[in-house]
Amino acid sequence: MPDIFLYGTLRHLPLLEIVLGRLPAGAAPARLAGHEVRWVAGQHYPMILPVPGTVAEGVLLRGLSGEDMARLRFYEGGFAFDLREVTVQTGQGARPAQVFFPDDPAIAPGAPWRLEDWVARWGALSCHAAREVMDLRASLTAEEVATRFAMIRARAHSKVLAEAMTRPEAGTPGLSRAEVRQQAHRRPYVAHFAMEEADLSFRRFDGSMSPTVRRACLVATDASIVLPYDPGRDRVMLLEQFRAGPWLRADPRPWCLEPVAGRVDPGEGPEDTAHREALEEAGLTFSALHLASRSYPSPGCSSEFFHVYVGIADLPDSAAGHGGVAEEAEDIRLHLMSFDRMMELAEAQALNVGPLMLAAYWLSHHRERLRATA
């Protein structure tokens, strides 16, 4: 098998271990003269390109097996990279090696790339994403994985957000992820959403471990949800659009009134998403966001996590109309209504979107304070 020169993200050992399924023993520092490593413009990973007078630092992997090469090709194949022959310099002199060069003419170089910068911003997310990518090797091609990669990264970002989140402890002290033993994990379905199932046991309240049970759920992403409120006019904006969930449940009216909502994209914070989605869906800007809830809507069957806000906005009569992003096939009607009318609908059980009800009742509790400081 050829030696492989790694110049980019796979120099991050936790990621390399996930991709290969092990940490290789035959790794040594190496340099490729006449080449430079740069960010791919607008992307989260680097590329290498010939630049006279420069040197690309990296690692040379030696003694790889056929399985190692197959795993590397599968992982890199989804990024439109392919292997080419080069000569690198090592502590023992020049050696032939292969390097993953970009294989897409549309890829353009950006700023100079440093491993430390990438690890700080994307390392944890990329490791979570790589676990899902490599799990799919038995069932999908690299090209098929590439069509799902945006959502794979979004799911990975949700894991990063979860790991970073702190909240006051509630419930039984001492129960945490450390009290769960997972024996097996499967991904029977991966597309825009994913289904995952695990065989596991967990600590019971009497201190013993449960028998091994199988649990499955929809693995989705974090979402930001924000109810626009104008405290001066004492009115809100609600968005009406067709939704697949009510349709597939056989609801006779699959159009819903709901707040602004959208997926938290990789690299975004939930508040960033709230501002972006408000502008995209309703043409709104918020002067302030007030957190109403961070919560799971249905923890027994879904990993989806909601960041729910009330957003302070200017809502004149002209704000009503239509919104949405045409490229995402969104057809949204923007409704303005008084706070009192929204609460009449809530009390009459005419609103059937849970985060809207949560935001509405949070607003009812804090409304006077918001109006007094407007």
Q: What is the pLDDT of residues 140-166, one digit of tens each?
A: 999 999 999 999 999 999 999 999 998
- Paired tokens of 149: 């990669």
Q: What is the pLDDT of residues 65-109, one digit of tens each?
A: 999 999 999 998 877 788 899 999 999 999 999 999 988 888 899
Read off the pLDDT of each residue in 25-39 and give the average, rounded to a whole number: 93
pLDDT the model gives residue 80: 76
* Angle at 326 (CA atoms; ends 321, 332), nearest 5 degrees: 35
pLDDT the model gives residue 217: 96
Residue 366 pLDDT > 90: yes
List of E strands, the chain: 4-6, 27-40, 46-61, 81-90, 93-102, 109-112, 180-190, 194-202, 213-219, 222-230, 235-242, 255-258, 260-263, 288-295, 305-312, 321-323, 332-338
Inter-residue contact 86 to 67 (CB < 8 Å)? no
- Residue 97: which of 61, 57, 51 has the closest Cα? 61
Read off the pLDDT of each residue in 336-358 and give the average, rounded to a whole number: 97
Read off the pLDDT of each residue in 270-286 and give the average, rounded to a whole number: 96
Q: What is the pLDDT of residues 77-86, one digit of tens each?
A: 877 788 899 9
Residue 211 — very low, low, confident or very high, per pLDDT cuts 50/70/90? very high
pLDDT the model gives residue 167: 84
Residue 234 — very low, low, confident or very high, per pLDDT cuts 50/70/90? very high
Q: What is the pLDDT of residues 165-206, one digit of tens each?
A: 988 888 888 899 999 999 999 999 998 899 999 999 999 999
pLDDT the model gives residue 169: 83
pLDDT the model gives residue 78: 73
Read off the pLDDT of each residue in 126-144 and give the average, rounded to a whole number: 95
Inter-residue contact 170 to 187 (CB < 8 Å)? no
- Which has more confidence, 123 or 25? 123
Q: What is the pLDDT of residues 299-334, one digit of tens each?
A: 999 999 999 999 999 999 999 988 877 777 778 999
pLDDT the model gives residue 2: 85
pLDDT the model gives residue 33: 96
pLDDT the model gives residue 284: 96
What 195-204 contacts at long range (C-beta under 8 Å, 24+ apart), as own/partner pairs, is 195/219, 203/175, 203/179
pLDDT the model gives residue 329: 73
- Which has more confidence, 2 or 223? 223
Q: 3-class SS at 55? A: strand
Domains delineated in the chain: 4-138 (3.10.490.10), 145-164+180-218 (no CATH), 222-372 (3.90.79.10)
pLDDT the model gives residue 82: 83
Where does residue 101 rank: exposed (0-12), middle (13-18), buried (19+ CB within 10 A)? Answer: middle
Read off the pLDDT of each residue in 356-366 and give the average, rounded to a whole number: 98
Q: 3-class SS at 348? A: coil
